[in-house]
Amino acid sequence: MVDIAITNVQPDRAAVASQWQLIWWAFKRHRLAMISLFVTIALYLVALIPGFFAINDPTLQNARATFHPPQRVHLIDTANGFSLGLHYYPLKLTRDPETLAAIFTEDTSRKIPIALFGRGYEYSVFGLFNTTVHLVASTDPSRPLFLFGADRLGRDVFSRVVQGAQISLSIGLVGVFISLLLGVVLGGISGYYGGRIDFVMQRVIDFVLSLPTIPIWLAMAAALPQGWPATMQYMMITIILSLTGWAQLARVVRGRFLSLRTEEFVAAARLDGVSEGRIIFRHMLPSFSSHIIASVTLAVPAMILAETSLSFLGLGLQPPTISWGVLLREAQNIRSIATAPWLFLPGIAVVIAVMALNLLGDGLRDAADPYNK
Amino acid sequence: MLKFIAKRLLWMIPSLFAVSFLAFVLIQLPPGDYVTTYIATLAASNEVIDQNTAASLRERFGLGDPMLVQYVKWMWGILSRGDFGISFEWQQPVSGLIWERMALTLVLAVASLLATWAIALPIGVYSAVRKYSVGDYLFTAFSFFGLSVPSFLLALLLMYVAAVEFGQDVGGLFSPEYETASWSIAKMLDLLGHLWLPVAILAVSSTASLIRVMRANMLDELPKPYVTTARAKGLSEFRLLTKYPMRIALNPFISTIAWLLPNLISGSVVVAIVLNLPTAAPLLLQSLMAQDMYLAGAFVLLICALTLIGSLISDILLALVDPRIRLE
Amino acid sequence: MSDIHTISPRKPLLEVRNLVTQFPLRTGLFKAVNDLSFSIEQGKTLCVVGESGSGKSVTARSILQIVDSPGEIASGSIILNTADGKSVDLAKLHPRSKAIRDIRGRDIAMIFQEPMSSLSPVHTVGDQITEVLRLHMKMTKQQARDEAINLLRQVEIPNPEQAIDRYAFQYSGGMRQRAMIAMALACKPQLLIADEPTTALDVTTQAEILDLIARLQKSFGMAVLFITHDMGVVAQIADDVLVMHHGVAKEYGPVEQIFHAPQDPYTKMLIGSVLKLEQKAEIRLARPPLDTTAKPILEVRNLSQHFGTLKALDDVSISLLPGETLGIVGESGSGKTTMGRAIMRLYDPTGGEMLYRKADGSVVDLAKIGGTALKEARRELRMVFQDPFGSLNPRMTVAQVIGEPLLVNGIMRGKELDERVCQLMEQVGLDPRGRERYPHAFSGGQRQRIGIARAITLKPRIIVADEATSALDVSVRFQVLDLLMKLQDELQLAYIFISHDIGVIRYMCDRVGVMYRGKLVEVGEAEKVCNAPDHPYTQALLSAIPRPDPRDRDRSRRFRYVEPATPLIQSTLVKNGSSAR
């Protein structure tokens, strides 16, 4: 009966291990989930201070760099004698004499070193103070580094992806937070009181779950005035996404509440004279908080995908707001991706983030209940 | 059993009304109405419309009435004579615009659902039976990848590959010569020839999630005592798996129709827009942008009704195949 | 006739030699069965007996090579000598080979503990029986169906022609096990392996199933390998006994020897614990007689508890004296658990009153009070639950579990609370140094002690113990019972002791009430009710209990109780199959 997770640590430590410790031990055994945890942390770190990780000002347009292809970063320079150190070569723009198509070639005669923690454009950290320090900075601002290439207006795709992480990743969190609030309150009421309230709530949840989300989101998003400020848009989009997202979480919460209500230790607590509030918060909530965390983690990537799809269709966030969905709109036109396939790169960011969160949630779900294996 | 179906059917009535009301509220949400949008469009091309014309337009479309009155009128039209109102933009009855597109939407969704099942079922069973084998890891990797790629991105990628590598345009559901032609066997075949691409794109993400579901279901069933009983009887492993745990794991699988169909329809909206398929989605998007409310409303209503019917079918199927539901 | 003896002795049907079955774990190899040897003669019954974790079930599964993965037979041999003179080493066969599959179900068949989950919920019983017949006997559909009906009739299932098309959940618990037996015996196997087949059943149903197996064994000339933890069952049916403990054979011999001349200390201890429960506890012998003239501390009058149309409690009246232990005995569905929970007001009774006399002599009706009054009453009325795993919050340390009643009632906190918790743990025989541990670090018996410590924290006057020892192994069971009696003397407690086990009641209780279908059919002195009951139901119940003595095997005195109003109580199919326990 003693859980398998406990068997590979010393029994003395296992004996005094709290639920979170047991969950952590079980989680650590999931190698893929552990990797995903680190990836997720790294991504949210980027989202926290995107300016530090960006190279160029993501909003800066550069007419000379229209559809500038991605540049390679070199470590060993042999073109100008042998030397070590991160550097890149600027690209020379020539035009095909017949088709007038742009041709970029690496100009190895000019080596531009890359500075770590160098100076670049000015950005704000948490709105508290401004700084110009970047993780990676070019030493020649007149010939910027385009790691992921540039878009139609010559803006740096890499820096835009980094900047977009802030909106795209946070919209997942905020959206899930609102869903969770709705889900826990409604699902909790339903599961705790049961009876007629539960019946009605169940019907509502079933109804909401059977609705196709995207057409509804489209219809709601279409109602948003185009001219609204970016923050308003952001809030409205998260609320729209949450309005259908809560049902899934409410169902999870309700199910947990129902099964916990019949647990003997809850009955025992009631007989101990424990108040209803303490039963909920001391006995029931800790029992399903790990499940909730797992469900929430699995709901975040769905939110991110939803925002990306909506913005991609032009009914979500609007430029100049930078999100991954907005960036992918640039890739909507088959002609522009034929000339600049690097416009797909924000899509890779989406895939990585969503995959990491999915794997993380999966690992958490497996580890969430260390007592029943 | 009959009582169950009757109850379930009765429940559809309030659900459908709720959906219709929801659809109507949704399309009423945008500030202003079609006439405002119309005036704005005209203004953009430097045309001016006077207040009287605007008022008479509103009068004609019944836009001046209170919302509830408009809703009742709309519903009455639908219920009494299948009249979904007039499309302002197309200047023709909505019912003339939607049905073929809805039919194609349904074809696309059902085809994707079948493809999803056909792929996910054997893979899910395999993954569970050969847990932690190389094959299981490969399929698990695929399913996590499939879950993480937005379907529109997949559609774009395939279009890109087709356009750049093969110089082909893979959009649409029909070759140009059949687009306006009336229905014939040749047109059906042409449809099938085009259908596989959107179906494949849609099936990727739904297959991915269904593999996970089926694998988990099977893993729940495999250690159950009735499997040991069957083994102790001397059944071969294959017969035992297909007759017992797979059969029982199928029950929750059937209930996936209820959530898979909304997902597929949702996904098909985005994919259809990217691939420019003649389904409901592109027109829905266009009508939402133009505030062509009756057209948009009809689409939202019908799409939601479709998924509600899907969950109805899944409930009834479940009762049919599971004696525990049927007999209690 | 004499030449029979000159023939070389017939080989035993099954010979197991030095069997090792192991499970690879993260921490190394776990040998669930370690170097085990035994044999079964044709037509004989071998009982493998042991407590939980002894490896008895794995032994049974090893024979058919159906050990749950990742378990596997590491070494040893399992020789099957069939009637036609062939010998096969089952341990050498691949678990998926055709050879072993041909033996499963045809030569050796198996039945399991949980008949409900051992039958498929979505296939008819008939489907699952005909399958074996068609597989091994190559019968046609119609032949198989006829034979299946015949088999169902043999295992005494009423209306077999209709029953064959029903599902397992439409059968009652006993019927399901009969159907399992019909399925196992379909091909007339030479060996039947029965893995705790009656553990999930009520004692009266158990008696019927044991009779059925014995009858069929005789008529088929079949050998039986019977796995059980119940020494009473062993004494009743075994020819030979194998006692297992932690995967190792402790003692192996004829049943007479095991019960009346055990050699191994573990066997002695096991038999000793069982015999202990055959009489009144020693502690109680030393006690002065109860003051029967005292005013009852709790009086239950005409208590009813209905759940919809189900009358779980129907007009029950009983009283409890101060310091008394009142037993409530009954089978599943008798309403005994409902009674305990109704007294604790975990339900709101439908009717009747429960008058509780406080220490100061004032009386409250537990059925009517609520709010603070109920909270106060619950300090003096406490409960010990059946499930030592489910009744402790796994996320709280033992100190938190035991101290919670003191904390939430605002009685103690901080250092004072900690000292009291230590004292309580000592009182129930636990080491207070373990108080920062979580419940998962304790065994079932220790957890039950934690539950008892929690119950006595608030210095109660009445404790309701609901099957408090039924989840425990027999060697631990009487220790917990002794602890409860020790606490009774120390704290002047009155107990309401709910159990399905007459032995426990006899050991523990002063008086006992017998419940049947929501009604109290008999109340009396425990000694009288357990030895010479008045009511026919109690008599039937007692007659069904297997006595732990192979010399006392008189099946003829056993009889069924037939309720006067509805004559067909056991022998009709129930519509919504409720499980047996």
Domain locations in chain A as residue ranges: 34-48+160-372, 67-149
* CATH code given to domain A34-48+160-372: 1.10.3720.10
Q: Are residues B239 and B117 in the same domain?
A: yes
Smallest CA–CA separation between B227 and chain C, in Å?
8
Q: Which residues of chain A are modeled with pLDDT < 50?
A: 1-8, 373
Residues C470-483 pLDDT 10s = 888 888 888 999 99
Are residues B197 and B275 in contact, defined by beta-carbon separation less than 8 angstroms?
yes
Give the distance from residue B53's alpha carbon to the nearest chain A alpha carbon, in angstroms. Answer: 25
User: φ, ψ for residue A141 (rounded to 5)?
Assistant: -60, -20
Q: Based on the structure, what is the number of domains in chain B?
A: 2
C393 contacts in chain A (CB < 8 Å): 265, 268-269, 283, 287
Whether the link from the prior residue into C70 is cis, omega within 30° of 0, is yes
How many CB atoms are located within 10 Å of the residue C214 CB? 15
CA dihedral (C207, C213, C216, C221) positive or negative? negative
Domain assignment of residue B142, given as a range: 102-327
The pTM (predicted TM-score) of the whole model is 0.83
CA distance C468 to C388: 8
| Contacts by residues B155-162 (CB-CB < 8 Å, ≥ 24 positions apart) | B155/B198, B155/B201, B155/B270, B155/B271, B155/B274, B155/B275, B156/A331, B156/A332, B156/A337, B156/A344, B156/A347, B156/B274, B157/A344, B157/A347, B158/B197, B158/B201, B159/A334, B159/B274, B159/B275, B160/A334, B160/A337, B160/A338, B160/A341, B160/A344
In this prediction, residue C217 carries a pLDDT of 93
Indicate if B148 and B53 belong to the same structural domain.
Answer: no
Alpha-carbon distance of C558 to C573, in angstroms, equals 23
How close does chain C come to B125, measured CA to CA in Å? 17
Residue B253 CB neighbours (<10 A): 22
Cross-chain Cβ contact C135/B225 below 8 Å = no
Both B135 and B74 in one domain: the answer is no
Residue B300, classed as helix, strand or coil, is helix
Q: How long a stretch of residues is chain A?
A: 373
- What are B265-315's pLDDT values in tens digits? 888 888 888 888 888 888 888 888 777 778 888 888 888 888 888 888 888
B100-149: per-residue pLDDT in tens? 888 888 888 889 888 988 998 899 999 988 888 898 889 988 888 888 88
Task: Give the Cα separation of A363 and C84 in Å (integer).
Answer: 55
Which one of C26, C390, C436 has the shortest CB-CB distance to A264? Answer: C390
Architecture of domain C282-287+296-547+551-567: 3-Layer(aba) Sandwich (3.40)
d(CA C173, CA C201): 7
Cα C141 from chain centroid? Answer: 39
Same domain, B178 and B54: no
pLDDT confidence of residue C343: 93
Q: How many residues does chain C have?
A: 581
**CA gap A368, A3 in Å, rounded:** 13
Pairing of strands C72-81, C14-25: antiparallel
Return d(Cα A145, Cα A165) in angstroms, integer: 20
Interface probe with B: pick from A203, A218, A337, most Cβ of B within 10 Å: A218
Mean pLDDT across C532-546: 90
Instruction: Find tokens 């949980």 and name the residue.
Output: C114
B106 and B78 both lie in a single domain: no
Tell me whether residues A351 and B284 touch, CB distance under 8 A: no
Residues 242-271 of B with CB under 8 A from A: 258-259, 261-263, 265-267, 269-270
Any chain C CB within 8 A of the CB of A268?
A: yes
Q: Is residue B169 part of a domain?
A: yes
CATH 3.40.50.300 fits C8-107+225-278, yes or no: yes
Average pLDDT score over residue span C441-466: 92
pLDDT one-digit tens code per residue, B161-210: 877 777 666 666 777 777 777 777 777 777 777 788 888 888 888 888 88
The predicted structure's pLDDT at residue B167: 66
- Taking residues C536-553, report their average pLDDT: 88
DSSP character string of C54-90: SSHHHHHHHHHT-PPTT-EEEEEEEEEE-TTS-EEEG
Q: Decide if C375 and A274 are in contact by the 8 Å CB cutoff.
A: no
User: Cα dist. B275→A329, B195, B269, C68 in Å?
Assistant: 14, 11, 10, 50
For the stretch C64-103, pLDDT in tens is 999 988 889 999 999 999 878 888 999 999 988 999 999 9
Rounded Cα gap, residues B166 and B158, in angstroms: 11
Q: Does C260 touch chain B (CB under 8 A)?
A: no
Report CA Rg, chain A.
26
Chain B, window 253-312: residues with a beta carbon less than 8 angstroms from a chain C beta carbon: none
- Residues with Cβ within 8 Å of B129's Cβ and at least 6 positions away in sequence, in order, are B218, B222, B241
Band (pLDDT 50/70/90 cuts) for residue C278 is confident
CB contact under 8 A, B251 and C120: no
> Going by C-beta distance under 8 Å and a sequence separation of 6 or more, which residues neighbour residue C22?
C29, C30, C31, C32, C33, C71, C72, C74
Contacts of B220 in chain C (CB under 8 A): none
Which of A43, A211, A232 best probes binding to B when mutated, by most B CB atoms within 10 angstroms? A211
The helix-helix angle for A31-48 and A345-367 (nearest 10°) equals 130
Q: What pLDDT is recorded for position B63?
A: 67
Could you say which of B15, B30, B284 has the minimum Cβ distance to residue A207? B15
Amino acid letter, B17:
F
Relative to beta strand C298-307, strand C310-320 is antiparallel
- Which residues of chain A have a CB within 8 Å of the CB of C454? 268, 272
For residues A182 and A205, the answer to whether their CB atoms sit within 8 Å is no
In this complex, the residue of A7, A19, A268 whose CB is nearest that of residue C385 is A268
Neighbours of chain A (3+ CB pairs under 8 A): B, C
Who among C344, C409, C440 is closest to A2 (CB)? C440
CA-based nearest distance C526→chain A, Å: 29
Asked, for residue B288, whether it belongs to a domain, the answer is yes
pLDDT value of position C4: 45
Can you tell me the distance from the alpha carbon of B152 to that of B157, in angstroms, rounded to the nearest whole number? 8
Residue partners of A19: CB distance under 8 A and separation at least 6: A286, A290, A370, A371, C394, C395
Residues of B in contact with A212 (CB under 8 A): 261-263, 265-266, 269, 303-304, 306-307
Instruction: State the Cα–Cα distance between residues A141 and A114, nearest whole angstrom.
Output: 11
Residue with tokens 């503990």: C113
A210 CB neighbours in chain B (<8 A) are: 258-259, 262, 307-308, 310-311
Mean pLDDT of chain C: 88
Tell me how long chain B is. Answer: 328
| B270–A309 CB contact, under 8 Å | yes
Chains touching chain B, criterion 3+ CB pairs below 8 Å: A, C
Does residue B48 surpass a pLDDT of 70?
Answer: no
AA letter at C179: A
Contacts of C514 (CB under 8 A, 6+ apart): C329, C330, C520, C521, C522, C523, C529, C533, C535, C537, C538, C541
User: How many Cβ atoms are within 10 Å of C96's Cβ, its own excluded?
Assistant: 12
Helix (H, G, I), strand (E, B) or coil at A72: coil
CB pairs under 8 A between B and C: 78
Q: Residue C17: pLDDT above 70?
A: yes
Say if the ipTM goes beyond 0.95. no
Which chain B residues contact residue C123 at CB under 8 A? 243-244, 247
* pLDDT at C482 (0 to 100): 93
Q: CB-based contact (8 Å) between B237 and chain C?
A: yes
Query: Which one, of C11, C173, C71, C36, lies nearest residue C576 by Cα?
Result: C173
Does position C450 have pLDDT exceeding 70, yes or no?
yes
Whether the CB of B238 is below 8 Å from some CB of chain C: the reply is no
Q: If you average pLDDT over each of A194-198, A278-282, C6-10, C39-43, which comes out highest? A: C39-43
Distance CA C133, CA C128 (A): 9
* Pair (B164, B242) in one structural domain: yes
Work out the pLDDT band at C570, boundaries 50, 70, 90. Answer: very low
Q: B240: closest CA among B125, B71, B87, B110? A: B125
Contacts of A342 (CB under 8 A, 6+ apart): A69, A70, A148, A149, A157
As a whole number, mean pLDDT of residues B234-239 equals 90
Evaluate if residue C302 carries a pLDDT over 50. Answer: yes
Question: Given an 8 Å threshold on Cβ–Cβ distance, is A6 in contact with C387?
Answer: no
Amino acid of residue C85: G
Q: Which residues of B are less than 8 Å from C61 in CB distance?
A: 228
B4 lies in some domain: no
Tell me the pLDDT tens digit for each residue of C313-371: 999 999 999 999 999 999 888 889 999 999 999 888 999 999 999 988 899 999 988 88
Paired tokens of C444: 């079932």
Residue A342 is inside which H or E element, if any?
none
B233 in reach of chain C (CB within 8 A): yes
Buried b (16+ CB within 10 A) or exposed e, B16-26: eebbbebbbeb
Give yes or no for a cis peptide into A320 (omega within 30° of 0).
yes
CA A240 to CA A217: how far, in whole Å? 6
B182, B158, B186, B187: which is closest to B170 by C-alpha? B158
Last residue of a domain, one of B40, B56, B83: B83
C288, burial (CB in 10 Å: exposed 0-12, middle 13-18, buried 19+): exposed
**Which residue type sits at B28?**
Q
Same domain (yes/no): B128, B261: yes
Output the 3-class SS for C324-393. Answer: CEEEEECCCCCCHHHHHHHHCCCCCCCEEEEEEECCCCCEEECCCCCHHHHHHHHHHEEEECCCCCCCCC
Closest CA to A120 of A62, A57, A163: A57
Residues of B in contact with A203 (CB under 8 A): 11
- Beta bridge pairs of residue A83: A77
Same fold across C8-107+225-278 and C282-287+296-547+551-567? yes
- Partner-chain contact B235 C96, CB within 8 Å: no
* Chain B contact present for C103, CB below 8 A: yes
Contact C122 B232 (CB under 8 A): no
Comparing CA positions, the residue from C363, C350, C343, C364 lying closest to residue C300 is: C343
- Specify the higher pLDDT residue, B176 or B80: B80
Q: Which runs of consecutive H residues, i.e. helices, occur in A142-212?
A: 157-193, 195-209
Q: Pick C554 or A161 by higher pLDDT.
A: A161
Q: How many CB atoms lie within 10 A of CB A288?
A: 21
Kindly state whether A222 is in contact with chain B, defined as any CB-CB distance less than 8 angstroms: yes
Instruction: Flag if B284 and A218 touch (Cβ within 8 Å).
Output: yes
